Chains A and B, each alone.
Chain A
Amino acid sequence: MEEAQISKVFAALADPTRRDIVARLAVGDATVSDLAEPYDISVQAVSKHIRVLADAGLVTQHREAQRRPCHLEAEVFDLMTRWIERYRRQAQARYERLDAVLADLQADENAEMTVPSQGEAS
């Protein structure tokens, strides 16, 4: 997935109404007027949101008799999850390096603690 596309997806999802729309489409396909119903905004405004989601590749619309239901492209999420998991692993890798540093730190501290006690014993 192109970085420009990723950026579009995240920008599309930054809006709370569009996140709501995505959550509703995750349940099943719906028309723009279905989607507009629970909101205090016009069908035109919902159409605009759908265009942003479609432009990001998150939603497609196909003709079905007289209706044009919106469909959530779930595989975009799979791609994003994989793309982002790469970076979660970077955070994990960083903290595994920190694990090693902390283990050394503990070894040093233990050594410092044993030296004086040996001194006392002699």
Chain B
Amino acid sequence: MTATARYQATIEADPTVPVIRITRDFDATPAQLLRAHTDPVLFARWVGPDGMNTRIIDWDATDGGRWRYVASRDGEDYGFRGCFHEVSEARIVQTFTYEGMPEGVSLETLTFEDLGDGRTRLHAQSLVDSFEGRDAWLASGMETGVNEGYAKLDALVGEL
């Protein structure tokens, strides 16, 4: 990992609905970013978190295809699964579930905005099913849930 990254992730949320948006720029084309999200070998290399080993179990990155991967650390397995609803040049729409909390399903929309000059802005939007669901994510300490929590706080602080 580089000492100082050129681009920082930002997180924002709509204060009235449980929607969270993470935005991050990349020195890559939309096609390269799409490939890094749909090629299972590439995806497993970065999805993380650090110190986690990711094994792809199912992976069909096409409209209606399904995915499942297991992240392991210290002998503990954490399973994640969902369906690819749409995989196209401009965006990926998919569901996301942590198997430890199967009642919580979020809808993820990843949009690749071409900035030109080989740069792309990634918009990653998560729609969780309820504020209660988000709190459950928070309590679990899982990464997705807490990003959502962060977004919530950002929105609130913005209102103050």
| Interface residue ranges, A against B (CB under 8 Å) | 3-4, 6-7, 10-11, 13-14, 16, 19, 22-23, 26, 77, 80-81, 84-85, 87-88, 90-103, 105-106, 109
The contact of A105 among B1, B16, B42, by CB within 8 Å, is B42
B32, A87: Cβ atoms closer than 8 Å = no
Q: Which of B43-51, B59-67, B92-100 touches A? A: B43-51
The answer on a CB contact under 8 Å between B1 and A93 is: yes
Question: Do residues A7 and B159 form an inter-chain contact, with CB atoms below 8 A?
Answer: no
By beta carbon, the residue of chain A nearest B118 is A106
Which of A7, A16, A91 has the largest number of chain B CB atoms within 10 A?
A: A91
Are B49 and A94 within 8 A (Cβ)? yes
Binding site for A on B (CB under 8 A): 1-2, 5-9, 11, 15-16, 22, 24, 26-28, 32-33, 35-36, 42, 45-50, 122, 131-132, 134-135, 138-139, 141, 143, 146-147, 149-150, 152-153, 156-157, 159-160
**Contacts A105-B32, A105-B35 hold; do A94 and B46 have CB atoms under 8 A apart?**
yes
B36 touches A105 (CB 8 A): yes
